Amino acid sequence: MRQRSIIAITAALAAGSLTLTACGSRDDDGGSSNGDKTTVVIGVDAPLTGDLSALGLGIKNSADLAAKTANKQEFVKGVEFKIEPLDDQAQPSVGQQNAQKFISDKNVLGVVGPLNSSVSQQMQKPFNDAGLTQVSPANTGTELTQGDGWKTGNSVRQFKTFFRTATTDEIQGAFAADYLYNQAKLKKVYLIDDQKTYGAGLAASFKANFTKAGGQIVGTDHINPDDRDFNAVVAKIKKTGAQALYYGGEYPAAGPLSQQLKDSGQNIPLMGGDGIYSGEFPKLNKKAEGDLATSVGEPVEKLDSAQTFIKNYKAGGYEDDYEAYGGLTYDATWAIIEAVKLAVEGNDGKLPDDGRKAVLDAMAKVKFDGVTGAISFDEFGDTTNHTMTAYKVKSNAWVPEFSGEPKLG
């Protein structure tokens, strides 16, 4: 039965290959003194290969832009910033190895990243033990900062070294529910998520807030984010009489999902979080008209700082777009740069010997106007900027509809 066993082995290999991804390249030169200037390395951890690489490359480039801007302005006297990007392939185990690599390089005083909450969970503790500051531009899982107790009001700070410029699922879900129920006046919603940490967390937060407001969830389903055919799910929505579809997940699956929803003759909007607020979404989906998304901060058109960022990014000649987390990454990197500045200023213009501790101590005092609005961190390490904006697709582009802060509690 040799043939049969080959098939069995093949099936096992196929399952194994699910966990395989390609290798990323690594830079291995640590920073050092550069003439009379001290080099401070800011680590960047993001998926630079694989299907989330578009977002990851945007993060890498935006961090690079922040460091270059600081160097050009001589923002911190006597300090030259340098970026060291590592590829985590969106995998927790790789992220943890990267964390160890950053920790062992004494020139690294702060780390920006990662993109995925699941990766972050593996990086938080090593960074905490090493006292190395981490600022994530994209992790939205509420428990990352506040622990599992946040649902019952017992928020406890998890790691003193973890900060983020991204808002939490709690805030985003509440804002989306409030907008859909009170502004768009849609009371019956079908709920779908992609079973990932981000998507499921956002969907759960939306559900809790939407039912609290008086809305009705007429059905729920889960999809596989690698699928592109959702017709079977879409056919089920029809009989529920839903007025909108809320999707917890990211744009690669949300695009075809929305398109197949409209194709099936159901003219109801799909709403999602910042994971679908990407220029790619209306590009991939010709029937996105009327779809909704929430994202952090005021719309970029209203902020001069955002315009400057976009202009500088274009002038920087980066091959890839800055994508959804470009602005938040710039702010995350800049927060570390500000902390370095505070540390240097508090030590007579020299970088303290224990740079990591000084930077970490300074993080709580960091306060500046960033690309996405005023940036500072609360007692959990979360951003104090709770302003959210709802966007709607009009003529194949996201147009801001409404900005505000959600009512919590």
Partner 1 sequence: MNELPQQLANGLILGAMYGLIAIGYTMVYGIVQLINFAHGEIFMVGGFGALTVWLVLPEGFGLAAAVPLMIIGGILVSVAVGAAAERFAYRPLRTAPRLAPLITAIGLSIVLQQAVWMWYPDAKKDHPFPRFEGGPVDILGANVQRGDLFVLIAAPLCMLALGLFVSKTRSGRGMQATAQDPDTAKLMGINTDRIIVMAFAIGAAFAAIAAVAYGLKNGQVGFRMGFLMGLKAFTAAVLGGIGNIYGAMLGGVVLGVAESLATGYIGDIPGMELFGGGAWKDVWAFALLILVLLFRPQGLLGERVADRA
How many residues are recorded in the chain? Answer: 409
| Residues 301-330 within binding reach of partner 1 (CB under 8 A) | 320
125 in the Ramachandran plot: left (φ > 0), alpha (ψ -120 to 50) or beta? alpha
Six token digits for residue 79 = 């300090």
Q: Taking CB under 8 A as the rule, does residue 19 contact partner 1? A: no
* CA angle at 139 for the pair 331 and 122, rounded to the nearest 5°: 120
Q: Taking CB under 8 A as the rule, does residue 73 contact partner 1? A: no
Q: Give, to the nearest 10 degrees, the angle between helix 117-130 and helix 197-213.
A: 110
Q: Taking CB under 8 A as the rule, does residue 289 contact partner 1? A: no
Q: Taking CB under 8 A as the rule, does residue 4 contact partner 1? A: yes
Q: How far apart are CA 233 and CA 290, in angstroms?
A: 20
Nearer to partner 1, 54 or 213 (CB): 54
Minimum CB separation from partner 1 for residue 233, in Å? 5
With tokens 């010709």, the residue in question is 286
Instruction: Read off φ and ψ for residue 87, nearest 5 degrees.
Output: -95, 120
Nearer to partner 1, 158 or 259 (CB): 259
Site string for partner 1, 21-60 (x = CB under 8 A): xx--------------------------xxx-xx--x---
Minimum CB separation from partner 1 for residue 239, in Å? 6
Q: Taking CB under 8 A as the rule, does residue 232 contact partner 1? A: yes
Type of residue at 11: A
Which of 96, 97, 264, 305 touches partner 1 by CB under 8 A?
264
Contact 66, 137 (CB under 8 A): no
Nearer to partner 1, 42 or 57 (CB): 57
Minimum CB separation from partner 1 for residue 253, in Å? 10
Which of 25, 33, 104, 195 touches partner 1 by CB under 8 A?
195
Q: What is the DSSP string of 145-174?
A: HH-GGGGGT------TTEEESSPPHHHHHH
Q: List, in sequence order, every residue forming a beta bridge with 404; answer none if it has no partner.
A: 388
Which of 192, 204, 337, 390 touches partner 1 by CB under 8 A?
192
Minimum CB separation from partner 1 for residue 264, in Å? 6
Which of 74, 129, 148, 227 touches partner 1 by CB under 8 A?
227
With tokens 């910042």, the residue in question is 274
Contact 159, 127 (CB under 8 A): yes
Contact footprint for partner 1 (CB under 8 A):
1-4, 6-7, 9-10, 13-14, 17, 20-22, 49-51, 53-54, 57, 192, 195, 220-224, 226-233, 235-236, 238-239, 252, 255-256, 259, 263-265, 280, 283-286, 320
